[in-house]
């Protein structure tokens, strides 16, 4: 559509150029007639109004019957001075009227149309460029996703630790990646529109660079020791109607476009039924040995809210 409009404008401009080359203004016609009158006058006894050249180069006269009047002597100085004091704008308007060609008017309209078309083309190009940048960012920027990990220090005398993985599934580096997370025992499932905890006061670890397809491990430590009752509740982790251990976290990083990105996550621990009896007995050493055995499995469930990335 744009190419058709461009070709139309080009053809139209060529036509205007051709017309302007062959066009003659009214002022030029008047000059030709005056020259003819000067050279030929009325020596042949004919009225110039009856001459064919008069009709080839018509000019406006005060007589509707084209009555010829011989040149008049110059007016007195007073009348000449009065004519010189005539309104300048009227003189300019008269000169403009006699010198203006139809091709000038058409060329003016064409130039305006061309300016509007060029502006719209610039707007379209700008939108296309912006869309290209957005597409490039979507295709090339780093994407950090979270992988569930493990739990350590299941002991009322120790601070519980929860580890998780972060993998860059994008095509470029995730620079200066830092994480902050908190552990909370909350009702499961979370109520609708649950307010995500404020992580502003959580200390960030040293920044890291996460390469594409590279998994990096992070760890969150509880801000206080859990009691024996709380640990048993965490290990039981009812499917519904009870409470679970939740991990609320966020990873901040900078992509290759120098823009700050975040990956926010919210997941709950689904419990370890095999460790509940040991916890009830207070056998924390046995629990510590069990969780490091090969094949020891951990299960986490992502919440239906607060899992997003920018």
Q: What is the pLDDT of residues 54-85, one digit of tens each?
A: 444 444 444 444 454 555 555 555 565 555 55
Residues (pLDDT < 50) of the chain are: 2-3, 5-6, 15-24, 26, 42-45, 52-66, 68
Q: Could you tell me if 279 and 287 are in contact, meaning their C-beta atoms sit under 8 angstroms apart?
A: yes
pLDDT of residue 145: 94
C-alpha–C-alpha distance, residues 118 and 223, integer Å? 63
pLDDT of residue 244: 96
C-alpha–C-alpha distance, residues 180 and 167, integer Å? 16
Domain 144-309 belongs to what architecture?
Sandwich (2.60)
Over the stretch 225-241, which tens digit does the pLDDT of each residue have? Answer: 999 999 999 999 988 88
E strand or H helix at 246, and its extent?
strand 242-254
pLDDT of residue 111: 87
CB atoms within 10 A of CB 287: 21
Domain ranges of the chain: 2-69+84-121, 144-309
pLDDT of residue 141: 86
Over the stretch 255-283, which tens digit does the pLDDT of each residue have? Answer: 988 999 999 999 999 999 999 999 999 99
Q: Tell me the H-state helices in the chain.
A: 2-22, 26-40, 52-56, 77-84, 88-99, 102-140, 228-236, 276-281, 284-290
């Amino acid at each position: 559509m744009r190419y058709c409009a461009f070709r139309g404008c080009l053809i139209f401009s060529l036509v205007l150029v051709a017309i302007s080359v062959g066009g003659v203004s009214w002022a030029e016609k008047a000059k030709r007639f005056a020259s003819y009158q000067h050279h030929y006058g009325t020596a042949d006894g004919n009225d110039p109004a009856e001459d064919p050249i008069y009709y080839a180069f018509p000019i406006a006269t005060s007589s509707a019957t084209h009555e010829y009047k011989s040149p008049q002597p110059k007016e007195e100085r007073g009348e000449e001075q009065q004519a010189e004091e005539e309104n300048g704008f009227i003189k300019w308007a008269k000169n403009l009227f006699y010198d203006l060609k139809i091709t000038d008017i058409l060329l003016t309209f064409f130039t305006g149309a061309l300016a509007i078309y060029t502006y719209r083309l610039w707007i379209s190009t700008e939108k296309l460029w912006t869309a290209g940048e957005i597409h490039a960012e979507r295709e090339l920027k780093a994407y950090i996703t979270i992988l569930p990990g493990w739990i350590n220090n299941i002991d009322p005398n120790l601070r519980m630790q929860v580890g998780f993985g972060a993998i860059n599934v994008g095509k470029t580096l995730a620079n200066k990646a830092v994480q902050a997370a908190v552990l909370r025992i909350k009702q499961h499932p979370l109520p609708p529109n649950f307010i995500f905890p404020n992580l502003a006061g959580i200390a960030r670890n040293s920044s890291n660079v996460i390469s594409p397809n590279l998994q990096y491990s992070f760890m969150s430590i509880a801000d206080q020791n859990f009691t024996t009752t709380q640990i048993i509740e965490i290990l039981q982790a009812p499917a519904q109607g009870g409470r679970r251990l939740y991990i609320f976290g966020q990873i901040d990083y900078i992509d290759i476009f120098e823009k700050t990105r975040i990956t926010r996550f919210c997941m709950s621990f689904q419990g370890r039924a095999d460790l509940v009896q040991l916890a009830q007995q207070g056998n924390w050493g046995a629990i510590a040995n069990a969780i490091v055995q090969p094949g020891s499995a951990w299960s986490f469930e992502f919440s239906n809210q607060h899992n997003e990335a920018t």
